[in-house]
C-alpha cells in the first residue's frame, strides 16, 4: 500500500526548515495575502521562492495557501499572486472559492489546485465535481468519519486525491467557516484574520438578573463554551492509512518551529513503522503518543473520525511536558563547538534531550559560550542569542529540549 504524504505547516522559514528536517513529504504556507492565516509569518515573493527552493532541494513539495474568499475587487490581484506563485515553482495552490477555482483554471492553467477544507466537502459527488473542474485533490471536511472516507475512496478510485487533517487545533464552526470573530472583533476568520473568540471564557447571564454570571463548563482554568479539543488521530492512524488517504495534514501555521518538529517527527516515525507492518506501529504507539505530549497542546480526541467528539466544548488550557531550549545551527569550525540559537533557559550539567530525525538522545549540557561577548556562563535566558556548546552529536536542524520552567522567576 502506498504510504500517504505527510503534509506539515510552514508558517515561517524556521518552521519550514523544521518540517523538512524531521521528515515532511510536503509543506504548506501562505503569501502575504490571500491565505487564511494572516498573522502567521507568511512569505513575500522572494521568501516564497526561497521556501520552494528549500522544499524541492529536500525532495519535498510546497503548496501555497490561497484559500480566502476573494471579493470582485480583489480578483485581479488574486490572479496575479497565483501567477507569481506558479513562477516561484509551487506544486499546487490550496483554494476555497469555486469561482476562484474556475478563474485560476482559465487564467493560470499550469497551477495545480487543491480544494481547501473550507469548502466543507463531505461526499463523493462534491469530490467528483471538483475533479471535473480540473482540481487534483480535495481536502476533506473534518466532519467526515473514517468509514465515510473509506467509502469515498472506493467510489472515487484514483480519479482524485483525498487529504485529511490528522493533528492540531479544530474550529467549532463547520470546517472553520465561522463568523464569530467577524461579529465580535471585525476580524473575519474567512479572511485569515481570526481572533479565536471561541477560545475565550464565557458565562451565561439571565435577562432579569443582570450582573449574575453562570458558568457553563468550568474547572480551575476557566470556562470554555465553544472551544474544541485538539485533533489527534495517532491512535487510529493505522486505520486511516489503510483507508487509502493520499495525504495526512498537520494543522499549525501559527505554531512554533519546535511544535512542528515534534509533531512532524512523531508522525514520520509512525508512517515509517506502518510501512513495515501494523504490529510494529501498534507496539510503538504508546511512545508516539508520549512524544506528542512534549509539544504545547490542549486535551485531544479523534474528532469526528469515530463518531462525535468525546467532550465538545471542554478543551481548557495548554499542556506541555518538555520545553524548547535551543535550535542547532551547525558546527563552528574555528572552535569545534556546536552553534545554537537559544530559546529558553537551561543549565550546564543538566540532562537535556537532543531531538534528531532518527530519534531522541540524552545529552549533558556543557558550559555555554556566548558568541556575542565571548564569555562562558553556566546558564543564560536571552532568547534569540547565538551560543556555542560541546555537543558533537548534534546536526544542523536538531533541537534541544528540557524541563518546563516558570520563566518569571
pLDDT digits (tens, 9 = 90+) for 220-259: 455 555 666 788 999 999 999 999 999 999 999 889 999 9
| Domain 5-170+230-297 homologous superfamily, CATH | Aldolase class I (3.20.20.70)
How far is it, in rounded angstroms, from Cα 25 to Cα 333?
31
Residue with the bigger pLDDT between 140 and 309: it is: 140
How far is it, in rounded angstroms, from Cα 233 to Cα 239?
10
| Closest listed residue to residue 376, CA positions, set 384, 365, 363, 392 | 365
Dig out the grid coordinates for 88 from the structure. 516561484
What was the pLDDT predicted at 395? 96
- 399 - beta bridge partners? 327, 355
Task: Compute the average pLDDT of residues 21-32.
Answer: 95
Place of cell 481572533: 195
Q: How many CB atoms lie within 10 A of CB 347?
A: 14
pLDDT at 408 over 50: no
Residue with the bigger pLDDT between 213 and 321: it is: 321
Dig out the grid coordinates for 386 from the structure. 547565538
Radius of gyration of the chain (CA): 22
The CATH number of the domain covering residues in 323-402: 2.40.30.10
Length of the chain, please? 409
For the ranges 185-189, 358-362, 376-380, the lowest mean pLDDT is seen at 185-189
What was the pLDDT predicted at 296? 84
Q: How much of the chain, in percent, has pLDDT values that exceed 90?
A: 69
pLDDT at 352 over 80: yes
What was the pLDDT predicted at 206? 72
What was the pLDDT predicted at 367? 96
> Domains of the chain: which residue ranges?
5-170+230-297, 175-223, 323-402
What was the pLDDT predicted at 409? 39
How far is it, in rounded angstroms, from Cα 389 to Cα 369?
6
Task: Compute the average pLDDT of residues 178-186.
Answer: 67
> Per residue, what are the HEC states of the chain?
CCCCEEEEECCCHHHHHHHHHCCCCEEEEEECCCCCCCCCCCECHHHHHHHHHHHHHCCCEEEEEECCCCCHHHHHHHHHHHHHHHHHCCCEEEECCHHHHHHHHHHCCCCCEEECHHHCCCCHHHHHHHHHCCCCEEECCCCCCHHHHHHHHHHHCCCCEEEEEEEECCCCCHHHCCCHHHHHHCCCHHHCCCCCHHHCCCEEECCCCCCCEEECCEECCEECCCCCCEEECHHHHHHHHHCCCCEEEECCCCCCHHHHHHHHHHHHHHHHHHHHCHHHHHHHHHHHHHHHCCCCECCEECCCCCCCCCCCCCCCCCECCCEEEEEEEEECCCCCCEEEEECCCEECCCEEEEEECCEEEEEECCCEEECCCCCEECEECCCCCEEEECCCCCCCCCEEEECCCCCCC
What was the pLDDT predicted at 32? 82
pLDDT at 120 over 70: yes
> In this structure, is the dihedral angle defined by the CA atoms of residues 85, 259, 233 and 354, taken in order, positive or negative?
positive
Task: Supply φ then ψ for residue 375, to 5 degrees.
Answer: -85, 150
Tens-digit pLDDT profile for residues 104-115: 999 999 999 999
Distances from the Cα of 273 to the Cαs of 1, 238, 278, 284, in angstroms?
A: 13, 10, 7, 8
Let me know if 5 is exposed, middle or buried by CB neighbors in 10 A (0-12, 13-18, 19+). Answer: buried
Residue with the bigger pLDDT between 349 and 172: it is: 349
What was the pLDDT predicted at 316? 56
What was the pLDDT predicted at 207? 76
pLDDT at 393 over 60: yes
Task: Compute the average pLDDT of residues 111-127.
Answer: 95
pLDDT at 193 over 60: yes
Amino acid at each position: 500500500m502506498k504510504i500517504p504524504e505527510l503534509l506539515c505547516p510552514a508558517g515561517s522559514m524556521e518552521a519550514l526548515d523544521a518540517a523538512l528536517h524531521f521528515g515532511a513529504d510536503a509543506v504548506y504556507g501562505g503569501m502575504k495575502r490571500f491565505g487564511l492565516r494572516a498573522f502567521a509569518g507568511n512569505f513575500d515573493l522572494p521568501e516564497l521562492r526561497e521556501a520552494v527552493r528549500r522544499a524541492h532541494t529536500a525532495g519535498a513539495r510546497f503548496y501555497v495557501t490561497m484559500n480566502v474568499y476573494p471579493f470582485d475587487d480583489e480578483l485581479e490581484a488574486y490572479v496575479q499572486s497565483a501567477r507569481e506563485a506558479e513562477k516561484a515553482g509551487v506544486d499546487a495552490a490550496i483554494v476555497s472559492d469555486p469561482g476562484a477555482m474556475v478563474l485560476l483554471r482559465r487564467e493560470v492553467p499550469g497551477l495545480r489546485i487543491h480544494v481547501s477544507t473550507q469548502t466543507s466537502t463531505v461526499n463523493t459527488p462534491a469530490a467528483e465535481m471538483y475533479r471535473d473542474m480540473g482540481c487534483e485533490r480535495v481536502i476533506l471536511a473534518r466532519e467526515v468519519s473514517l468509514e465515510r472516507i473509506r467509502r469515498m475512496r472506493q467510489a472515487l478510485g484514483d480519479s482524485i486525491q483525498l487529504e485529511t487533517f490528522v493533528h492540531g487545533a479544530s474550529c467549532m464552526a463547520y470546517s472553520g467557516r465561522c463568523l464569530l470573530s467577524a461579529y465580535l472583533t471585525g476580524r473575519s476568520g474567512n479572511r485569515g484574520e481570526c481572533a479565536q473568540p471561541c477560545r475565550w471564557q464565557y458565562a451565561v447571564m439571565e435577562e432579569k438578573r443582570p450582573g449574575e454570571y453562570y458558568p457553563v463548563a468550568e474547572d480551575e482554568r476557566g470556562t470554555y463554551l465553544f472551544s474544541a479539543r485538539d485533533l489527534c488521530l495517532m491512535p487510529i492512524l493505522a486505520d486511516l492509512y489503510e483507508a487509502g488517504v493520499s495525504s495526512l495534514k498537520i494543522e499549525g501555521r501559527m505554531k512554533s518551529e519546535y511544535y512542528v518538529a515534534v509533531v512532524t517527527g512523531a508522525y514520520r516515525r509512525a508512517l515509517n513503522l506502518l510501512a513495515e507492518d501494523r504490529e510494529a506501529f501498534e507496539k510503538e504507539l504508546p511512545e508516539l503518543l508520549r512524544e506528542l505530549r512534549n509539544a504545547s497542546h490542549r486535551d485531544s480526541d479523534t474528532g469526528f473520525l469515530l463518531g462525535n467528539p468525546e467532550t465538545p466544548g471542554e478543551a481548557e488550557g495548554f499542556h506541555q511536558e518538555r520545553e524548547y531550549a535551543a535550535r542547532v545551527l551547525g558546527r563552528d569550525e574555528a572552535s569545534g563547538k556546536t552553534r545554537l540559537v537559544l530559546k529558553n533557559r537551561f543549565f550546564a550539567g543538566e540532562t537535556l534531550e537532543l531531538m534528531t530525525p532518527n530519534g531522541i538522545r540524552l545529552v549533558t549540557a556543557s558550559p555555554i559560550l556566548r558568541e556575542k561577548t565571548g564569555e562562558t556562563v553556566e546558564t543564560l535566558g536571552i532568547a534569540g542569542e547565538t551560543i556555542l556548546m560541546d555537543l558533537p552529536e548534534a546536526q544542523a536542524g536538531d533541537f534541544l529540549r528540557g524541563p518546563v520552567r516558570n520563566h518569571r522567576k
